[in-house]
Amino acid sequence: MSAKLTTNDLDAFWMPFTANRQFKTAPRMFVSADRMHYTTDDGRRVLDGTAGLWCVNAGHCRPKIVEAIQRQAAALDFAPTFQMGHPKVFEAASKLVNIAPSGFNHVFFTNSGSESVETALKMAIAYHRARGNASKVRLIGRERGYHGVNLGGTSVGGIANNRKMFGALMTGVDHLRHTHDLERNAFSRGEPEHGAELADDLERLVALHDASTIAAVIVEPVACSAGVLIPPKGYLTRLADICARHDILLVMDEVITGFGRLGAPFGADYFGISPDIITTAKGITNGVVPMGAVLVTSKIHDAFMTGPDYVIEFFHGYTYSGNPMACAAVIATLETYQEEGLLTRAAELARYWEEAMHALEGLPHVIDIRNIGLTGAIELDPVPGEPTRRAYRRFVDAFERGLLVRATGDTIALSPPLIIEKAQIDELFDILTKVLKTAK
């Protein structure tokens, strides 16, 4: 029970992305979970409006996944994947290829989204080198992008708070302009009308740096962490065309949009784009075991498969790349997604979700509502001089009323498990309406 905890009990754990001192004076604790709900340490049920941290796409504690990792832990706890193998890692990779966009025939395993991003960036640079273009080393991200917290991902990322503490970061990095445009696109339903031309910003960077120095562009199909910024109609196609014209690899960071969030298996499917590399994590194991995967086309993979066959082709990998328990979780998770049609279920619910979201228009301080698939955001005008306070208060208020949402900046983001029922969507928005009407 939280009443029994003292400040000292909470001291040791330095919490990530958390206001530690504030949290520890009034902790919020989950002790169990089942499908759409968490249970708190004081026995309250909380509707999960965020699929944990955008990862529990099949809902919580699904027996098939739980049993798979229990069995695997007892059968083969760890096996190296450097110069050795175990069957589950090959099975997990094959299953991923089967649901990946066409042409993505190879999988490199990591343990998180951040590691997937680092892997993709290194792959892009090494790919050009392998083809004799060793000057193509520059990496292009986008303002307001989030690509995890490691040094490469922080460098190509575009959220000032995530960057400013860490010095000059990597050299040889530049950023496209972001696509968020409240003036022209506020309260758009789905993809906004205006802004496809912002993709031409890549031509500006090509003119500045020259294509012969640029390895890759990395973008999220939908910039979720920065507040669910949805690409304007035509933007991603235009960006992909410019990349192809200049032999610049397109990395789509699908750590959130992968595994059904938008209503198609991947964002690349949803937007009809053919990137070169796709980074994933989160939903790959339903959040149960840390895991990530980089999906690559044969074009990328085969460029490495040259030289004497006893020589390592890519000097990169993690001790836990393809850890047996994580692979068992991948297999059981993908089977669950397929058995229950979850990779496309968001498409069936998208219209209902959109109506429910946009019904919040007109509530106090709401300056924009955005939706796509089974995700969306409500942007609030900030308290003058106190950025983030407005959304944070509403996050706490929602939690107290039995709903978990995410506050990012002054935006409330939503991304429920893909098993959500319409009645639960109603419940979610009933609570949120009360919160938006009454919270200070």
Q: Which chain residues interact with ligand PXG by CB under 6 A? A: 53-54, 112-114, 117, 146-148, 220, 224-225, 253, 255-256, 281, 406, 408
DSSP of 223-248: B-TTT-BPPPTTHHHHHHHHHHHTT-
Q: Would you say 211 or 226 has its CB closer to ligand PXG?
A: 226
Q: Would you say 150 or 237 has its CB closer to ligand PXG?
A: 150
Classify 45 as helix, strand or coil. strand
Confirm if 146 and 353 have CB atoms less than 8 A apart. no
Q: How near is the Cβ of 404 to ligand PXG at its closest, in Å?
A: 11
Q: Would you say 115 or 206 has its CB closer to ligand PXG?
A: 115
Contacts of 390 (CB under 8 A, 6+ apart): 365, 380, 381, 382, 383, 410
Q: How near is the Cβ of 406 to ligand PXG at its closest, in Å?
A: 5
Euclidean distance between CA atoms 314 and 303, whole angstroms: 11
Classify 31 as helix, strand or coil. strand
Work out the burial of residue 73: count CB atoms within 10 Å of its CB; fewer than 13 is exposed, 13-18 middle, 19 or more buried. middle
Confirm if 324 and 89 have CB atoms less than 8 A apart. yes
DSSP of 371-391: EETTEEEEEEPPBTTBTTHHH
Q: How near is the Cβ of 153 to ligand PXG at its closest, in Å?
A: 6
Q: Would you say 86 or 261 has its CB closer to ligand PXG?
A: 261
Q: Would you say 267 or 324 has its CB closer to ligand PXG?
A: 267
Contacts of 206 (CB under 8 A, 6+ apart): 214, 242, 246, 248
Q: How near is the Cβ of 224 to ligand PXG at its closest, in Å?
A: 6
Q: How near is the Cβ of 113 to ligand PXG at its closest, in Å?
A: 2
SS (H, E, C) 155-200: HHCCCHHHHHHHCCCCCCEEEECCCCCHHHHCCCCCCCCCCHHHHH
Q: Would you say 72 or 279 has its CB closer to ligand PXG?
A: 279
Tell me which residue has its CB nearest to ligand PXG.
113
Q: Would you say 118 or 130 has its CB closer to ligand PXG?
A: 118
Among candidate residues 178, 137, 134, the one with its CA nearest the CA of residue 157:
178
Q: Would you say 130 or 148 has its CB closer to ligand PXG?
A: 148
Sign of the torsion angle spanned by Cα atoms 13, 18, 22, 25: negative
Q: How near is the Cβ of 280 to ligand PXG at its closest, in Å?
A: 9
Q: How near is the Cβ of 183 to ligand PXG at its closest, in Å?
A: 24
Which tokens belong to 236? 């991603």
Q: How near is the Cβ of 146 to ligand PXG at its closest, in Å?
A: 5
